[in-house]
Amino acid sequence: MKLTLDWLKDFVDVPVTDPADLVDVFESLGLEVEEWGRIEPTFSGVVVGKVLSVEPHPNADKVRLCTVDIGAEAPSQIICGAWNFDAGAIVPVAVPGAVLQGDFEIGRRTIRGVESNGMICSEEELGLGDDAAGIMVLDGDYPWAAEHIGADLAKLLPFPDAYYDLAITPNRPDCMSVYGVARELAAYYDLDLVEPRTDVTEVGPPSTASITITDADACPRFVAREVRGLVARRSPHWLRRRLQLAGVRPISNIVDASNYAMLEVGHPTHAFDMDRLGDRVVVRHATAGETITTLDGVERTLEPSDIVVADETRPVAIAGIMGGADTEVHDGTSRVLIEAAYWNPPSILLTSKRLGLRSEASARFERGMDPNFCDRAADRVAHLLQELADGAVAPPLVDEYPKPIAPRSILFDVAEVRRLLGIDLTVAEVTDLLRRLGFEVAGDGPLEVTVPTRRPDVTRPADLVEEIARLHGFDNIPDRVRTGTGGGLPTRERKLRKIRDVVVGAGYHEIATFSIIAESDLDALGLPEGNPARDAVAVSNPLNEEERLLRTTLVPGLLRALAVNESRQLKAIRLFEIGTVFMPGSGKLPEQPLRLGFVAGGQPEITWEGQGRTPDVFDATGLWELLAVELGVPQPAVRPHRSPVFHPGRCAEVLAMGTPIGTVGEVHPAVTERFGLTGRVVAGEIDLDELLLERTPWRFEPPSTYPPVIIDLAFAVDDDMPAAALTDTVRRAGGPFLEELTVFDVFAGGNLGQGRKSIAIRLVFRAPDRTLTDDDLVPIRTAIVEAVERTLGGTLRGAS
């Protein structure tokens, strides 16, 4: 909300010399200053002058010759091209030597043979408004002008001024006005608050307007005031300027009065053209399908939950949100009915949300206005119309208040201040702080605090503590470091850190991708209908129609990230993400397992030693093996797997204790192509649950000091026999002395015959307490060979 220091000074005598000082004050009160600035005159050397005579120019017919009293001994002769004034007008005169905005210096000039000693200025030329059509006539708008002929205009206008754009938190509807903010300042400085002028002179016969409220919960109070005999004209300059500085466009005095009053006192009002409105005003629920064309020209269809202001025939306003076009004030309006109501905030929010229609009024009513201010709000407008538009205020103030709202009373134990803030304030200090904010305080223990109805946010002792803290000053509360009573990193966190360390250590860079993906991402993965990853939870209000699914896999995000890097010519790309995926579950919430996803691809790096290696499936299984060891995964295993995402011959499932927990491998070329990738791409996705579990600490094994015995064995096995089957069998048969098993050669062809391959393994045997002999090893070797033959149909090819 934008307001000026000048306007604030109408209500409180702010004791600041530099407007910058007020920024900290606003902040300490919780009124965040989003922006502020000084307002300085954009002119100098402009004085108040009185036009003594206006004559035609002897040689030109578009300009006139004026003699102007500028307070000097002799009047000045000034040529002026504007026609909106006559002799007697009080006008701003830029005398020779004056400088207007844009460093435009005014001098003596001769125009068509006649000397002109300066310039009579328009609002626009003085930077005081956007009216450039005529000169600025001061006497109508500024009654003091006539008494200051020759005086410096800059000193008579509110300069220097400052504007502040305040962010008002939603709990403080009372601060959505100049008057409301002024009240905060008055409390801060402990100064008196000047009340807005609401005095009216009632004339003429009583108003015929009547109000009927059908739902007192939705509308506890409705005040109306009739003003007659209005003359529409432009509002005075000071008012227009205040509106403009507050970001509101001036329209005409009748409309401006309502806007001005809302900015000033906060409470929105609405003026109906009474000649277009029936006498019997009804506040009621809309009927289903009822329509109204609002001020913005849009026809809106209403529902019974909406509250409208209506006359006998039709709705004339959507309550608290926007008036109807039918009864809008226009240039010919002479009689208005001013509405100042109190609307139930949730009902305003509901309708405003449903219609997607928000206004300055709805923003205020949905937060809660002061029900006991309606009368003053109506008469603030009536007062302005009386002053600005020759309005005759009709008796009486029509006030329907079927459901009076009384101020709330809170019992307050001053000990709460110590308990919540950690400081000691006396009863007198607390009483003083609350009174300054306009709260009534009675008693001395506990205090009985009466909260004004403008403060819907204050309902409990804790709310009073906040008020006390705010006004006492957060800076005056000491700092104390509070340490916890326990603490420490839970296992899950420690394990997560370890996983990150392992993957980072393996050369992968962590990324963060979005959790919402598109159906087309799943298409690009080649997932058929019925694939579990297709069963995604949808977002009901996505930012765009395309991306509307919660990710069921991290892979598409990673592949897309890989493609971004590849398109930017980056090489040797290894990326990973640790993130949540979402799947329909059986409980109130979707299943949300945490996963590790990784990809590697792109052109290999070129170094002075040549080109690096392109990653393949064994980089993926190797990373899993490393993780399994580092995280102590029990019985980690790898077995061949088929997945539409992966290369059919280069994909593995990874297992812990026989349970599959992830898939790794080379991405199917059709999939990489759909993601715009070239070359081999390695990817994997592993559920982390198993890796995050606490494990019993590993036990130390002293290394044997005896020499090893090394045996190399090569087996011919069927082509499709996984190496893991062989190594598992050998390991089982190898007994306790088998210390190390390494596959060191795999080949097919040669004299092996069709459908066979050779796998060579090196076995290292060692005993902890002695040197092994042939007596030990011969039976072991025999057992291994037999086991391989029996269970795998493998034959020993040779030994050493």
Partner 1 sequence: MEALDRLSQLEADAPARIAAASDLESLAQIEAETVGKRSPLLEIRRGLGSLPDDQRREVGRRVNEVAQLLGSLIAQRRSILETAAMEEALRAEEVDVTLPGRRPPRGTRHLIDSIQQEVVDIFVSMGYTVATGPEAETEFYNFTALNIPYTHPSRLESDTFYLDYGEVPEGTLLRTHTSPMQARYMELNRPPVYIVVPGRVFRRDSDSTHTPSFHQIEGLAVDTDITFADLKGTLAHFARLFFGPDTKTKFIPHYFPFTEPSAEMHAYADGRWLELLGCGMVDPAVFGHVGYDPNQVTGFAFGMGVERLAMVRHGITDIRALYDPDLRILRQFR
Which residues ranging from 355 to 394 are in contact with partner 1 (CB under 8 A)?
366
613 binds partner 1 (CB under 8 A): no
Parallel, antiparallel or unpaired: strands 2-4 and 32-39 = unpaired
> Residue 65 or residue 561: which is nearer to partner 1 going by CB?
561
Q: Which stretch binds partner 1 (CB under 8 A): 413-421, 428-436, 741-749, 770-778?
A: 413-421
610 binds partner 1 (CB under 8 A): no
Tokens of 724: 């893991």
**Euclidean distance between CA atoms 277 and 339, whole angstroms:** 12
Greatest distance between any 2 Cα atoms in the chain: 137
465 binds partner 1 (CB under 8 A): yes
679 binds partner 1 (CB under 8 A): no
Q: Which stretch binds partner 1 (CB under 8 A): 106-114, 455-463, 713-721, 749-757?
A: 455-463
**Euclidean distance between CA atoms 800 and 798, whole angstroms:** 7
Q: Least distance to partner 1 from the beta carbon of 179, Å?
A: 20
Point out which residues pair with 743 in neighbouring strands: 761
Q: Which stretch binds partner 1 (CB under 8 A): 261-269, 306-314, 437-445, 511-519?
A: 511-519
409 binds partner 1 (CB under 8 A): no
Do residues 582 and 550 make contact, with C-beta atoms less than 8 angstroms apart?
A: yes
217 binds partner 1 (CB under 8 A): no
564 binds partner 1 (CB under 8 A): yes
Tokens of 799: 């030994």
62 binds partner 1 (CB under 8 A): no
Q: Least distance to partner 1 from the beta carbon of 422, Å?
A: 3
> Residue 87 or residue 606: which is nearer to partner 1 going by CB?
606
Tokens of 776: 């030990």
Q: Judged by CB under 8 A, which of 537, 752, 764, 796 binds partner 1?
A: 537
Q: Which stretch binds partner 1 (CB under 8 A): 145-153, 193-201, 312-320, 556-564?
A: 556-564
**Euclidean distance between CA atoms 471 and 476, whole angstroms:** 10
∠ at Cα 32 (31, 36), nearest 5°?
110
590 binds partner 1 (CB under 8 A): yes
> Residues near 329 by Cβ (< 8 Å), separated by ≥ 6?
254, 255, 271, 272, 273, 336
170 binds partner 1 (CB under 8 A): yes
DSSP 361-380: HHHHHTT---GGGHHHHHHH
∠ at Cα 517 (516, 521), nearest 5°?
170
Q: Least distance to partner 1 from the beta carbon of 538, Å?
A: 4
Q: Which stretch binds partner 1 (CB under 8 A): 117-125, 377-385, 391-399, 414-422?
A: 414-422
Q: Judged by CB under 8 A, which of 540, 705, 751, 754 binds partner 1?
A: 540
**Euclidean distance between CA atoms 380 and 265, whole angstroms:** 8
480 binds partner 1 (CB under 8 A): yes
> Residue 431 or residue 565: which is nearer to partner 1 going by CB?
565
Q: Which stretch binds partner 1 (CB under 8 A): 148-156, 248-256, 306-314, 541-549?
A: 541-549
Point out which residues pair with 156 in neighbouring strands: none
**Euclidean distance between CA atoms 529 and 625, whole angstroms:** 32
> Residue 608 or residue 698: which is nearer to partner 1 going by CB?
608
**Euclidean distance between CA atoms 119 and 517, whole angstroms:** 66
CA-based nearest residue to 178, from 192, 163, 190, 191: 163
Tokens of 22: 């007020």
Q: Least distance to partner 1 from the beta carbon of 719, Å?
A: 33
> Residue 126 or residue 575: which is nearer to partner 1 going by CB?
575
> Residue 462 or residue 670: which is nearer to partner 1 going by CB?
462
**Euclidean distance between CA atoms 106 and 76, whole angstroms:** 14
> Residue 36 or residue 159: which is nearer to partner 1 going by CB?
36
> Residue 87 or residue 539: which is nearer to partner 1 going by CB?
539
Q: Phi/psi class of residue 147: alpha, beta or left (left: φ > 0; alpha: ψ in -120 to 50)?
A: alpha
**Euclidean distance between CA atoms 688 and 491, whole angstroms:** 13
SS3 (DSSP) at 725:
helix
Residues between 109 and 128 with contacts to partner 1, criterion CB under 8 A: none
723 binds partner 1 (CB under 8 A): no
For 147, phi then psi, to 5°, come to -90, 0
423 binds partner 1 (CB under 8 A): yes
Q: Which stretch binds partner 1 (CB under 8 A): 79-87, 347-355, 643-651, 771-779?
A: 347-355
Task: Build a one-symbol-per-residue string for 14-43: x at contacts with partner 1 by CB under 8 A, - elsewhere.
Answer: -------------xxxx-x-----------
Do residues 641 and 665 make contact, with C-beta atoms less than 8 angstroms apart?
A: yes
Q: Least distance to partner 1 from the beta carbon of 460, Å?
A: 6
For 777, phi then psi, to 5°, come to -85, -30
Q: Judged by CB under 8 A, which of 146, 203, 288, 512 binds partner 1?
A: 512
